[in-house]
Each structure stands twice: as C-alpha cells, then as structure tokens.
Structure 1
Amino acid sequence: MNNSNLTNGNRSTLIETLQAASAELLFISESESPFEVFFWELPSGTEVKPETMINQTGISADTPIEFTDLESFFAVATTHQDWHGLVETEAVNRYQNLVKIIQENLTDIKVVRVGNVDIDVYIVGKTVDGCLAGLKTKVVET
C-alpha cells in the first residue's frame, strides 16, 4: 500500500482522494449510478463479513449479500475495446485510475453486492488506521 497521499488517520484526505477519483463517474448497468464515499469508524481489525454489512447498512438479515473482487467488478469498465472512441477511452482511463487509487489507499478490498435487482454495491477496504472505507454505487440487474 502506498501511503504517500495519506498520513495515519488522515480521514479527510482519504475521503477527498476517493471523491476526486470517482467524481462524475457513473457505474453503468441497466441504470447509471454515481459513486458515494463512505467511512465507517469501527474497532480496529473489524472484518468485512455479512454481519458487518448488516450492522453498517441497516439491511435485514435475509437480504442477499454476495462478495466479489475489485478486478472482476470493474473488468468491463477498465478494459479498452477496439470500438471505443475518445469518450469511451477517457472513461476507461478514469476507471483504471479509480481502481489504482482504491488499491493505493485501502487494503483487504472487497466488493459487496447487497440485494437483488436493485443492488447496492460497496467497495470496502481497510484504512491505514484500521477503519473501513470505500465507495458505494448501485447496479440494476433484471
């Protein structure tokens, strides 16, 4: 992890860094959804598990929760295609930068999909001071 942009516990810098990297990006599924930065101040060593997600998001215990990895989640958005024009190429470059920023500033990163059809997606990782932070977006899959 590269902490060049962060000092231990500098939460506002982390939040600003994630906001800047995700600004004006929309995650495209059957809808287009922006990214929101979140920061969960939890006891050091808290793991990202279904119980953590239930406690932090207020979802019911029977809500479907699925875990995936960062690269798989962003694969479509970070892969250049032959048919891409300038706008699409720029978007891919911005998504590649977003993934890089997430990897540089968070550890133990997990992507957590919560719900069915109208799915909340949390990209969650540990901060340098052991809290959990990341980005939230929404995907629609019918």
Structure 2
Amino acid sequence: MTNEITEKLKQASDGLLMISESEYPFEAFLWSNQAQEPMTAQKLLQLTGHPQETSVEEIELDYFFRNCTQEKEWHDEIQKQNVPKFKSLVKMLQDTFTDINIYRIGTINIDVYIVGKTPSGDLAGISTKVVET
C-alpha cells in the first residue's frame, strides 16, 4: 500500500515544477508509522534533518498552489499546460490523505513539505523548494 502511495505521488507530480523565483521539481516521500502523534514543527524538523531552530510556517493547500491551479496572465505556455496537471495533483492529495498540512521551512531558499496521513498510519507527501528574495 505504501509504495503504491509514493508511486501515485511520483506520477501525479511528474514533470511539474513549482513556480517561484526558481523552479524545482517535486519529490515523493514516506515516513513510516509517524502518524500516531500529531505533527509539530519540532517533529517535522527532526524528520527532515533541519536544525531545531529553523523557522517553520504552515500554510493552506489551496494557497500554496494558487498560482499553479488557475491560468494566470503571466504564465508561459508550459505553465498554462500544467494547470490541469496541478489541479489533478491537488485532487489526488485530497483524495489520498487526511490531515494535509503544508510546511515551509527556512527563509529565501525554502524547503516545502506537503504532508498527509495515510490510512495505514504513515505520513507521506511531496516536497519541493521555493526561492523568495
């Protein structure tokens, strides 16, 4: 079941790049048996290998993908073509996981983790980077 979820995530995010000042792909991850206790900033930093003092910001799924799931005037052709793919990625995340949270770790070069609970009690999702100066 769990490999199936990471496989689904890879397929849903394949070829997509997160739009920011720089563009990064998405990577699927799975943290086995981590959904028993609630997710905290400390736990996330530990799971991702970041120093405990790194800043963590939590944001909404729709807000994070706001520039990807609707056509914008400034989109280039590829970004326009990717709008339906981003929509289906968001739908897949919503259909697959419960308690989806998005965490932004750090500033300027920001690691982003979209984390949800699987039915089997694991945490899984996709990560990417955004650059904001």
Question: What is the TM-score with the length of structure 2 in the denominator?
Answer: 0.93
Instruction: Report the aligned-residue RMSD.
Output: 1.6
Q: When the two structures are aligned, how many residues end up with a matched partner? A: 133
How far apart in 2 are the matches of 1:71 and 1:44? Answer: 23
Percent of pairs identical after alignment?
41
Question: What does residue 73 of structure 1 align with?
Answer: 64
CA offset digits 1:73-119 (Å, max 9, x no partner): 00111112367675433211110010001111111000000001100
Moved over 4 A (4+): 82-86
Describe the SS at the equivalent of 1:75.
coil
How far apart in 1 are the matches of 2:129 and 2:59? Answer: 15
The aligned amino acid for 1:42 is N
Question: What is the TM-score with the length of structure 1 in the denominator?
Answer: 0.87
Question: What does residue 137 of structure 1 align with?
Answer: 128
The aligned amino acid for 1:51 is Q
Residue 16 in structure 1 maps to residue 7 in structure 2: yes
The aligned amino acid for 1:12 is N
> Which ranges of structure 2 fall in alignment gaps of 5 or more residues?
none
How far apart in 2 are the matches of 1:29 and 1:60? Answer: 24
1:88 to 66, 79, 87: 79
Higher-Rg structure is 1
Residue 56 in structure 1 maps to residue 47 in structure 2: yes
Question: What does residue 7 of structure 1 align with?
Answer: none
How far apart in 1 are the matches of 2:102 and 2:40? Answer: 11
Pick closer, same or farther for the CA change 1:83–1:31 going to 2, 3 Å: closer
Pick closer, same or farther for the CA change 1:136–1:75 going to 2, 3 Å: same
Deviation at 1:55, TM superposition (A): 1.5
Pick closer, same or farther for the CA change 1:111–1:59 going to 2, 3 Å: same
Pick closer, same or farther for the CA change 1:14–1:81 going to 2, 3 Å: same
> Which ranges of structure 1 fall in alignment gaps of 5 or more residues?
1-9
Question: What does residue 40 of structure 1 align with?
Answer: 31
How far apart in 2 are the matches of 1:82 and 1:58? Answer: 38
